[in-house]
């Protein structure tokens, strides 16, 4: 059902089964997949592609121009996958030409009210941004990460898979996968054990991840030497530990401790 007061550009691509509520605006160049529901007073701008079975609540701003001084009106995009939930007053921005040209959001993510995703972010699958969580530009968030309410993440940071960032946290460095971070300047507080158990990680996996954490942060070794010790240890056979090591090796901003 498309409400008669909705303003939809004839060049927009609206799939079967899409619902669009009163007074929403859908610009040209927008594509909306089958079964997606758009609430009232939603604005979806040119360059936005939305997948199947998403739900976008009232007053969300989707695909707006990036808040970047370098942006000069170039044609860029926001790509959103399937089964995402976008709550009230969420803002999701397109990419910039110098940042790759696109903001990408995977599948099954949940953006709570007033959360913000800036230009050129890359968000995986099943990520949660709680109320008022804010991402600056060029951030990478891996699958199943949770960003707590009123938290802010600095541009170019990376958040690892299954990481949990508590509310009111300021993230200025990369957050390792599987870890719990908190504080006005994020510090690690060990393994995100509760979250990992909820996702059915085995006790053996928790054990090897805890050992890797102790080697990195409790052994007194430099980060480089700690990684070398992990690689030489039998725990390096764990896929999760391998991912942890790879995340450290690719980090450019440095790791929160």
Q: Give the residue numbers annotated as catalytic, written as ranges.
A: 119-120, 137
How far is Cα 199 from Cα 193, in angstroms, rounded to an integer? 10
How far is Cα 19 from Cα 1, in angstroms, rounded to an integer? 5
Among candidate residues 104, 178, 116, 124, the one with its CA nearest the CA of residue 150 = 116
**Please, which residues have CB within 8 angstroms of residue 165's CB and are 6 or more apart in sequence?**
145, 146, 147, 148, 151, 153, 159, 171, 175, 181, 182, 186
How far is Cα 96 from Cα 71, in angstroms, rounded to an integer? 6
Question: DSSP states of 91-158 as a string?
Answer: EEE---GGGTSEEEE-SS-EE-TT-EE-TT-EE-SS-EE-TT-EE-TT-EE-TT-EE-TT-EE-TT-E
How far is Cα 33 from Cα 116, in angstroms, rounded to an integer? 22
**Please, which residues have CB within 8 angstroms of residue 215's CB and are 6 or more apart in sequence?**
221, 226, 229, 230, 233
């Amino acid at each position: 059902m498309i409400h008669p007061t909705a303003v939809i550009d004839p060049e927009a691509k609206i799939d079967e089964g899409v619902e669009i509520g009163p007074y929403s605006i859908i610009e040209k160049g927008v594509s909306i997949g089958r079964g997606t529901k758009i609430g009232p007073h939603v604005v979806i701008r040119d360059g936005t592609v939305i997948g199947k079975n998403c739900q976008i609540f009232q007053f969300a701003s989707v695909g707006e121009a990036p808040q970047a001084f370098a942006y000069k009106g170039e044609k860029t995009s926001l790509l959103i996958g399937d089964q995402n939930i976008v709550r009230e007053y969420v803002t999701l921005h397109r990419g910039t030409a110098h940042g790759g040209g696109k903001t990408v959001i995977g599948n099954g993510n949940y953006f709570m009210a007033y959360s913000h995703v800036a230009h050129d972010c890359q968000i995986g699958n099943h990520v949660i941004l709680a109320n008022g969580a804010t991402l600056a530009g060029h951030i990478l968030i891996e699958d199943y990460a949770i960003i707590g309410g009123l938290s802010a993440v600095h541009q170019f940071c990376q958040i690892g898979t299954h990481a949990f960032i508590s509310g009111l946290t300021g993230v200025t460095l990369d957050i390792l996968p599987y870890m719990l971070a908190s504080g006005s300047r994020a510090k690690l507080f060990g393994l995100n054990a509760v979250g990992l158990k909820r996702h059915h990680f085995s006790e053996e996996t928790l054990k090897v991840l805890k050992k890797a954490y102790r080697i990195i942060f409790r052994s007194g070794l430099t980060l480089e030497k700690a990684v070398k010790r992990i690689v030489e240890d039998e725990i390096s056979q764990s896929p999760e530990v391998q991912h942890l090591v790879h995340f450290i090796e690719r980090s450019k901003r440095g790791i929160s401790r």
